[in-house]
């Protein structure tokens, strides 16, 4: 039976790549994003998916409403992929203190709120799976990565805790990518070698494995996906 999957942050580079890969597998897909509508480029990849835009997943009520819309459109939820997030580089001394709140809201609160909203449907599925996006850079934070790494470390611990909370009901895992090969990252790091980075399509394949029945009893795993970094 084709899986029904909800992807948060679905209008972004990784989200749209993951949605396209899921659609290519014949899965039923709903994408949720803060933006009101996808870009033209993302829209092409999302052809065939249910679109839920304008959803502030850092707000519990808005997250519940967005997940409910996706569940109703799909007729249920088998897998939730929490890709919504954000990044800022700033030192503690010179950075904006509000940046810490923003990193936790974008990365950790969105993940927690979407997961909470989806849990009843995932349990009802009988084969529910949650896949979160952590960060390899949260295992040892570099200078300027404090706020981002702390928020992603929170995603790691939420993954482990939720895996225990839902053991036997819903499998919960996370991928820990290094640098994802995006146009923005190439522009921000012109002297780096993007050949060592992780392609969005490759990371999407790993996430869809964890979201599938093929992953079997795997739960509570924090899986590094680091390419050549």
**Sign of the CA dihedral running 163, 133, 105, 9:** negative
**Whole-number Å distance between alpha carbons of 43 and 39:** 6
For residue 121, what pLDDT is reported?
Answer: 98
Q: Does residue 1 carry a pLDDT above 80? A: no
Determine which one of 148, 149, 153, 155 is catalytic: 148
Q: Does residue 193 carry a pLDDT above 80? A: yes
**Whole-number Å distance between alpha carbons of 60 and 68:** 12
Residue of 188 and 78 predicted with greater confidence? 78
Bridge-based pairing of strands 170-177 and 50-52 is unpaired
**Whole-number Å distance between alpha carbons of 138 and 225:** 13
Helix/strand/coil for 93: coil
How large a percentage of the chain has pLDDT more than 90? 93
Confidence of residue 12 (pLDDT cuts 50, 70, 90): very high
Biggest distance spanned by C-alpha atoms of the chain: 53
**Whole-number Å distance between alpha carbons of 118 and 67:** 6
**Whole-number Å distance between alpha carbons of 78 and 196:** 33
Average pLDDT over residues 117-133: 98
Sequence-ordered list of residues with C-beta below 8 angstroms from that of 167, at least 6 positions apart, any chain? 219
Look at the domain 4-225 and name its fold.
Rossmann fold (3.40.50)
Q: Tokens 């580079």 correspond to what residue?
A: 13
CA count, 13 A, side-chain hemisphere, 94:
7
- H-helix or E-strand spanning residue 52: strand 50-52
Average pLDDT over residues 18-29: 98
pLDDT tens for 29-81 read 999 999 999 999 999 999 999 999 999 999 999 999 999 999 999 999 999 99
Q: Respond yes or no: is residue 148 known to be catalytic.
A: yes
Q: Does residue 181 carry a pLDDT above 90? A: no
């Amino acid at each position: 039976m084709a899986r029904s999957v909800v992807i948060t942050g679905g209008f972004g580079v990784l989200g749209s790549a993951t949605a396209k890969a899921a659609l290519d597998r014949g899965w039923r897909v709903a994408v949720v994003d803060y933006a009101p509508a996808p870009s033209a480029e993302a829209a092409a990849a999302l052809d065939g998916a249910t679109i839920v835009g304008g959803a502030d997943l850092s707000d519990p009520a808005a997250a519940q409403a967005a997940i409910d819309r996706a569940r109703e459109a799909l007729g249920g939820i088998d897998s939730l992929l929490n890709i919504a997030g954000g990044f800022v580089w700033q030192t503690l001394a010179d950075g904006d203190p509000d940046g810490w709140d923003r990193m936790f809201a974008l990365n950790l609160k969105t993940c927690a709120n979407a997961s909470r909203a989806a849990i009843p449907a995932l349990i009802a599925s009988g084969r529910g799976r949650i896949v979160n996006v952590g960060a390899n850079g949260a295992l040892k934070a570099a200078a300027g990565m404090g706020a981002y790494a702390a928020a992603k470390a929170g995603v790691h611990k939420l993954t482990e805790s939720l895996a225990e909370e839902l053991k036997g009901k819903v499998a919960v895992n996370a991928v820990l990518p290094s640098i994802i090969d995006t146009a923005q990252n190439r522009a921000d790091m012109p002297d780096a070698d993007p050949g060592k980075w992780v392609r969005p399509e490759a990371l999407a394949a790993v996430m869809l494995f964890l979201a599938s029945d093929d992953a079997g009893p795997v739960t509570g795993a924090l899986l590094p996906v680091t390419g050549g970094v």
